[in-house]
Amino acid sequence: MRDPNNWEDPLEFKPERFLDSSRSSQKDAIKEEVLRYIAFGSGRRGCPGANLAYVSVETAIGVMVQCFDWKIKGDKINMNEAAGKITITMANPLTCSLVPRTQISLSSK
């Protein structure tokens, strides 16, 4: 915190040096501006629980696939895409119903 290579007058109390307007290098200001808009992305605003969330979601999906049968409404899934969207989305959202697996349904298959 007192390195003269990083700070002008490192031994003096100057709280204004931490304001954006007083930074000597614009590179830091640009980097800070870019990172401000990356929610849970990278930098010091990165989500500390991201890895835990990935493990939790994978476990939940695995349990749902193993413990339930999946039923859809109708015979086929309509895979048409919605027009005029930036991202690819389904025109008719997929609706699934979960049917719990029991010992009876496992033995009959």
C-alpha 20/C-alpha 106 separation (Å) is 64
Q: Are 17 and 8 in contact (CB under 8 A)?
A: yes
Q: What are phi and psi of 49, to 5 degrees?
A: -105, 15
47 has binding-site annotation: yes
Binding residue numbers: 47
Binding residue numbers for heme: 47
